[in-house]
Structure 1
Amino acid sequence: MTDSDTAARLPVRLTINPRQRQPSSVDLLTWIHRHPEYRPVVRASGGGGGRPGFSDAVIIAVLAQGLLPGLFNLLQSWVDQQRTEASIRIQTGDAEVELQVSGRTDSARLLAQATEALRAAREPGPEPGSAPGPDAAG
């Protein structure tokens, strides 16, 4: 099994905050639930996002990373149809990244951004601005 196979199976938690400028013809959760593979893993959070301009329709998803491409495609098609935006907070392990989705966002690029940001957040490295330790070559 390769590292990418393992990563595709690791659970990811997403918090999706759709921005509602006007009432939508189809709410995002209904849009996503049209695809049976997402029904058991995507649900309403039951609480508001607490962020100005974002709706109370916060959606929580916990799924394998392998399902992200399809979910991002669904989210992008909903954003395009509704002419709106959404914010996605993605967490896996201790890594977290937040992405904005608009009508100008490409779902493949969104997936690449999420994957790269999560990979960078998971890799241990020196703290920004920290000096090398006493064992550092110099």
Structure 2
Amino acid sequence: MTETNPDPVARQPFRLTITPRQRQAPPVTLLDWIHRRPEYRPVVRSAGGAGGGRAGFSDAVIIAVVAQALLPGLFNLLQSWVDQQRTEASIRIQTGETEVELQVNGRTDSARLLAQATEALRIARAEQTGTETAG
């Protein structure tokens, strides 16, 4: 299974909703951390109002719409921020009608996070389209 996937759904952009958890304001917000890399500036933004979110959430929710090729770098940035802040974040990933949610903490490996996201999306797509194998 080393062939490329011609499935058009696999080429759709991913929409990520990233929700960092922080008890106090971090020295560098997650959005500023991600925007240090120029390729993410046009595709990653705040979901709305600055500050004043739910208790335990320092950044407003962050929205990203990225090509699959940008996911590894984005996950690396997210993981390095989580490690530095000693905090957690949740990521809701959507592509087409498929959605999965993953938790990121200091013990998460960014490569494993990518594999987990890819596999969860593949399974969710299969379930939605009824292409799962039966008996």
Aligned-pair CA distance for 1:9: 3.7
Q: What is the identity percentage for the equivalent residue pairs of Structure 1 and Structure 2?
A: 78
| Pair 126,64 (structure 1): closer, same or farther in 2 beyond 3 Å | closer
How far did 1:109 drift?
0.7
8 Å contact from structure 1 (residues 43, 60) kept in 2: yes
TM-score normalised by L of structure 1: 0.82
Whether the 8 Å CA contact 1:8–1:66 is kept in 2: the answer is no
Structure 1 residues 8 and 31: CA distance shift in structure 2, 3 A: farther
Give the Cα–Cα distance (whole angstroms) in 1 for the partners of residues 103 and 16 of structure 2: 13
Question: 2: CA distance between counterparts of 1:79 and 1:121?
Answer: 27
Alignment of 1:1-138 (within 5 A): 2-3=4-5, 9-47=11-49, 53-123=56-126, 124-125=129-130
1:69–1:111 CA contact under 8 A, matched in 2: yes
Which stretches in structure 2 are left out of the alignment for 5+ residues?
Answer: none
Shift of 1:54: 2.8
SS in structure 1 opposite 2:91?
strand
**Change in 2 beyond 3 A, CA 1:77/1:121:** same
For the structure 1 residues 79 and 109, does the alpha-carbon distance in structure 2 shift closer, same or farther, using more than 3 Å as the test? Answer: same
Aligned length in residues: 128
CA positional deviation for 1:79: 0.2
What does the per-residue CA deviation read over 1:8-42, in whole Å, with 9 as the maximum and x for residues that have no partner?
64200000000012220100000000000000000
Q: Which letter maps to 1:87?
A: S
Tell which deviates more after alignment, 31-40 or 118-127.
118-127
CA distance in 2, matches of 1:30, 1:98: 23
- Kindly state the Cα deviation for residue 2 of structure 1 after the two structures are TM-superposed: 2.9
Residues 8 and 64 in structure 1, CA contact (< 8 A), matched pair in contact too: no
Give the distance between the partners of 2:102 and 2:68, measured in 1 at CA: 16
